[in-house]
Structure 1
Amino acid sequence: MSPAPTRRTTVLVVAAHPDDELLGAGGTLARHALAGDQVHALVLADGATSRYADGMDEVLAKCAHRAAEVLGLASLRMLSLPDQRLDVLPLVQVTAQVEAVVAELKPRVVYTHFPGDANADHAVVARAAWTACRPYVLPGLRRFAVFETPSSTEWGWPVQGGGISGFAPTVYTDVAGTLERKLDAMACYGTELRDYPHPRSLRALRERAAYWGSHVGLAAAEPLQLLREVAP
């Protein structure tokens, strides 16, 4: 289980779309914020133009800012890149925009998507974040971990690199004290919520936290897959 932070630190979550910043790690981010850490979110794509009529990108942006206030984030940056089209942009272009934020904030902890998600935008963002946080560019980074995104991670294509690979949690955050804050933040995204038993319903998110908690003897948990950690 991941311990509560013992010192103030800068945390960055790098997400593909509005609501991704909290679906997989909202309870973890809220816990960081309550501990006094500076928690920042970077959302790359607008989340709207591939699915909705004109103007919904602005609606989602307002939802994202309300959710950020609920979670207690220090800042939210939205790049408004084209939704579901990040894979047609040069990866170097996407990475450069992540690098600019990383260079400014110099985070010690970074969370982003699991790269094997069904959603192609998630994979691009994960790769860009990983590249932007390479050790000689960000020597102060102490933890890089990926989260699951309900309705994308569990539906990902299971065959990768010639073998079968999937999300394999190695760290669990106790979110019993911050789960309600995560759900309140998700409720800000009215257009993105779905009816139960869809994974992005509030009830399913609550049940998911209980499911992962049961793996490690907690009432509620969020799973993370640790890709890099530098011990103090």
Structure 2
Amino acid sequence: MSERSALKALLMPEEKIIYTLPVGKGDNVLVISPHPDDETLGCGGAIIKMLLSSINVSIVLLTDGNGSGRMREISQIRKEEFMKARSVLGYSTFDILDYPDGQLDSYQEKLSEQIHRLLVEHVPKLVLTPYLLDYPIDHRMADIALAQALKNANQSNIIVGMYEIWTPMANPNCYLNITGEYFKKHMAIRCYQSQEDYFKIIDKAESLSTFRAKLSMRKKVEHMECFKLLEANKYIEMVEVWKKVQN
């Protein structure tokens, strides 16, 4: 893929917009969450929706959450919040890798190996991961590690869906109506009280989901999550070109 094609895949609008994720009953989905709360903020509604459709959802939490807040024992507090949110969202399968928050760039090889192991173990049809242009460095490093893991796994049938948290996504190609799921997502976000106190995440998350709903121009839709879906090979090429552009 040329640099122009990679940037187009990341930034330019798609010809076809879909309103459901490309998975069905019995399929496996792996959600990559760099920090405790990313899984809820970015795709909590999608997680609830998929579980209601008998889709198997597994979460991998990459870091210890030690970098967000000035409280003592913030890492332990955020892990407890993660478990409370897990109960609300309703999934049961998860892994906690416990890398230092804010330092995923120092553990790329090992992280890639562990994500590769999870790809082989879960055989997901869909992998959800943060938007490559999202602001936090751990979110970008998660994408780089995922791309390498996908390359090593040689599972070209996997679809990657990037979700947005802090940086609105340029031209998503999948809009998911989560109006019916938003109350439960809101309750899951409230589990992260340390982050609400520090970052006011509830208002930010609600503002983004209502913003997406309004832009969709669809009737009776109050909340939406959006995704950028790419085939694994295109995702890998896009990340590799993006790395070159950064250098």
**1:202 and 2:202 equivalent?**
yes
After TM superposition, give the deviation of residue 229 of structure 1 in Å. Answer: 7.2
**1:100 and 2:117 equivalent?**
yes
2:140 is aligned, of 104, 123, 133, to: 123
Q: Which residue matches 2:51?
A: 33
Q: Using CA pairs under 8 Å that are at least 6 residues apart, name the structure with larger relative contact order, 1 or 2.
A: 2
Matches within 5 A, 1:1-232: 1-3=18-20, 5-49=23-67, 51-52=69-70, 55-89=73-107, 91-134=108-151, 137-141=154-158, 143-150=159-166, 153-154=167-168, 167-194=170-197, 200-216=200-216, 217=218, 218-228=221-231
Which contiguous aligned blocks of 4+ residues in structure 1 show a shift greater than 3 angstroms?
Answer: 49-54
Structure 2: any 5+ residue segments left out of the alignment? 1-17, 234-247
Q: Deviations over 1:35-68 (max 9, x none)?
A: 1111111011111157545522122111111111
Paired residue secondary structure (2:194): coil
8 A contact 1:30–1:72 mirrored in 2: yes
Structure 1: any 5+ residue segments left out of the alignment? 155-165
Aligned mates of 1:69, 1:82 — CA distance in 2 = 24
Q: Deviations over 1:66-98 (max 9, x none)?
A: 111111113121111011011122x22210111
- CA separation of 1:51 and 1:88: change in aligned 2, threshold 3 A: farther
Aligned mates of 1:135, 1:80 — CA distance in 2 = 23
Aligned mates of 2:46, 2:152 — CA distance in 1 = 24
After TM superposition, give the deviation of residue 22 of structure 1 in Å. Answer: 1.3
Paired residue secondary structure (1:17): coil
8 A contact 2:48–2:90 mirrored in 1: yes
- CA separation of 1:84 and 1:229: change in aligned 2, threshold 3 A: closer
The two structures, once aligned, show a CA RMSD in angstroms of: 2.3
Output the TM-score relative to the length of structure 1: 0.82
Paired residue secondary structure (1:13): strand
After TM superposition, give the deviation of residue 100 of structure 1 in Å. Answer: 1.3
Q: Which amino acid letter does the alignment assign opposite residue 171 of structure 1?
A: C
- Pick which of 45-54 and 219-228 moved more: 45-54
Output the TM-score relative to the length of structure 2: 0.78
Give aligned-pair identity as a percent. 23
Q: Which residue matches 1:160?
A: none
Q: Which amino acid letter does the alignment assign opposite residue 223 of structure 1?
A: C
Paired residue secondary structure (1:25): helix
Aligned mates of 1:121, 1:21 — CA distance in 2 = 14
Q: Which amino acid letter does the alignment assign opposite residue 101 of structure 1?
A: L
Aligned mates of 1:136, 1:79 — CA distance in 2 = 19
Aligned mates of 1:186, 1:208 — CA distance in 2 = 14
Higher helix share: 2
